[in-house]
Chain A
């Protein structure tokens, strides 16, 4: 069993680092942690980075999860290898680019690029947002899936994810008490479906709705509320078509032993109990 401790980062290739920086600082509200010629490291909390844009193909999208230590990383590599997932061990240079001690890369059954990392760097300096969006941290990702049932088995049986709720056959999965860290999203090809940052309050969600509308950022869903996690949300489009989400008030699963996943119908009201319509 591969034990995922937490989500660590997302890495996106981009054709324009300048556009990515403009969006990340003026719209999303992250802090530039470090900027080299070919990469932009963005902070959203006390970690050294949680989002990295690098010069490259926007189809290159990677999600990093933290595991306990190098022994468990090696065990994970062996498990994946045994199951027929080719594993790439990070070189020192690649580790430096990710600000981690060690990592391995592989693809999930859909073909999403996943990295397992050890000792991702934290920053001694506190997070100072580039705009007052109220971001409290990077929290979850939506991962595309070409076969929700198969991918649910991978994340729950090979890894330690647990299903919190399902909408139709699509699982929302947790790796800790937070309702979900991985949300599967049916789609024709692999890739990150959306990137979630938590914000402080309901007010922040609505303030950003008006702020981003004023910046002509396409709002693709919300403001709304998920009946599954209870979170109030706003989804909007960033560079290279990537969708970002702000949310607040996501439930925690209080009793790990007794929680049973609830089944929601595959219909709009399962995605938003307020009545907003998704348009992406």
Chain B
């Protein structure tokens, strides 16, 4: 019986989706204005967490948390059995993981959560039954956002962080640029990217948009508001995704993306040379995010 479950689990990734990003902030008002006026997300009125934002059918995908010490991301796990198995495996490999309290689950709008620390010190919530919203998404401006698409994470312990993501959580390495590692959990090229770094944290939070037009319109929209463009407009050769990355509140970086490719069934991870053109085939360079400067990303 156990054997059947294991083989079923290995055939299908137990990670269902990247469901939210919780960003610790000091001063929420400017962040709130940024989320609606710049990103174009929809504010979700809520007493428990006043700074929640929707981008798609989910109840929220972005939370500015004044009470949090560090940012975290939420990943939905298929079911309770998988979550229990993962909890055991994490314990066995010495990863820090704790069951979220009822209040912590309530703040995250999930039924159950395992709050995990990766080897770097990033916080990853493995959650069950994250909330959806019955009402359709109604953006605060016409940015063409289709949903939370992906997240870039810093890693200072690539080997152990990869062990967590692949051996324990079942994500697949789809491609690499130098040691920068793209991780897939569904049919898309990646949902999480690990960037070698000397510290923990989120490199960027990426929202998908509906077209190249939307991407470029957002580029000029952001530029006109004198928000610093950090990388792009550009296109990742590995994923095919066009992107523009720009500064958000409190040094967080946000990104719009369009054209993220699917992973074909026979795909093997490719190794791209560590150079600027492997991160942007159009020729944009990134000076201000150290993890996206190829000379330093080795």
Contact = CB atoms under 8 A, between A and B. Distances in A.
Contacts of A209: 282-283
A1 interface: no
State which size class the interface on B falls in: 10 to 19
A203 B281 contact: yes
A224 B281 contact: no
Contacts of A225: 213, 216
A122 interface: no
Interface string B112-125: 00000000000000
B216 A207 contact: no
Contact of B283 (A207, A273, A275): A207
B220 A207 contact: no
A207 B234 CA distance: 9
Nearest to B224: A275
B283 A274 contact: no
Contacts of A275: 216-217, 219-221, 224
B220 A274 contact: yes
A203 to B, nearest CB: 7
Contacts of B212: 202, 232
B17 interface: no
Given A214-B283, A225-B213, A206 B220 contact: no
Nearest to B282: A206
A274 B282 contact: no
B235 interface: yes
A211 B234 CA distance: 13
A276 interface: yes
A202 B234 CA distance: 11
B233 interface: yes
A274 B220 CA distance: 7
B284 interface: yes
Contact of A274 (B213, B235, B281): B213
Given A206-B235, A223-B216, A275-B217, 13 more contacts: A203-B281, A206-B234, A206-B283, A207-B281, A207-B282, A214-B283, A225-B213, A273-B213, A274-B213, A274-B219, A274-B220, A275-B216, A276-B220
Interface of B: 212-213, 216-217, 219-221, 224, 233-235, 281-284
